Amino acid sequence: MTVTENRPTDRELQAADSERVATRRRYLMCEPRYFAVEYAINPWMDPSQPVDRELAVRQWHSLAETYRGLGHTVAQIEPIDGLPDMVFAANGATVAHGRVYGAKFKYAERVAEGPAYLDWFKSAGYREAHEAAFVNEGEGDLLVVGEMLLAGTGFRTEPAAHAEAGAVLGLPVVTLDLIDPSYYHLDTALCVLDAQTIAYFPGAFSTQSQMKLEELFPDAIIADAADAEVLGLNAVSDGLHVVLPMEAAALAEKLRARGFRPVPVALSELRKAGGGPKCCTLELRP
């Protein structure tokens, strides 16, 4: 059967869209108390450009309050001086079925974040908190969709980490190749909207990976380059509400047309380091 034959009808999509339900989530976040752009490890970072740390903190608190206002719980890990990117909690681990697959960062500037996040999980009572043998950057490249793990590679996470993550988390893995350095993590190019639905920017992926996504998610929402370029896909969904950068206006309209409720937020300062709502948010799945 071809992908086209698998594609839902308009009536089926409308029925599904009308039944969208928000589920309460638990998130881990880290205040950007020590946020700065002091080095460049992705194309978004420019140490010569000023960063307003106080504004970054205010925007971060507004994001956390947005989650709480939607009924979600926000846990916090204490930031560590000297780790300016620790605010990007999504990179700290991947959690599914109550199991934790720890991060092992590629760049020396972030290596200490891995043990810091793993220590938090252990102190929070997670009995299955696993240290990674292979380089991976948590939910930056490992995204849970229902009972499947979409795993990105090409810039940060090693392919060997995909099988390791799948074994630890008990999930089948689909490997996706990233080809554009502006979308160095999977969560900058693809957003999980619910257990069956994603949004993504095809230009970030190899041709083979685009084919995989088309086959697995024939009713996916396709983002354009303009929305991808403001990290519009670095978004967080509870199945109904989608918290995304306020600049991603066209994507917000596509989400609304499909029955989701966009919740725009301002994260201009953290975007200077290549981060958006999802980068700041690690989901603690039971």
Q: Which of 98, 87, 142, 151 is nearest to 121 (CA)?
A: 98
The Cα 275–Cα 259 span in angstroms is: 26
CA dist 95 → 45, 146, 198, 228 (Å): 28, 13, 19, 26
Task: Write phi, then psi, for 279 (nearest 5 degrees).
Answer: -55, -30
The Cα 15–Cα 64 span in angstroms is: 32
Q: Please, is 260 exposed, middle or buried when counting C-beta atoms within 10 Å of its C-beta (0-12, 13-18, 19+)?
A: buried
Q: Which among 130, 185, 241, 280 is annotated as catalytic?
A: 185
Q: Which of 121, 98, 103 is nearest to 169 (CA)?
A: 98
Q: Residue 185 catalytic?
A: yes
Q: Which among 30, 191, 279, 280 is annotated as catalytic?
A: 279
Q: Residue 279 catalytic?
A: yes
Apex 100 CA angle, 98 and 102, nearest 5: 170
Tell me which residues are annotated as active site: 185, 279
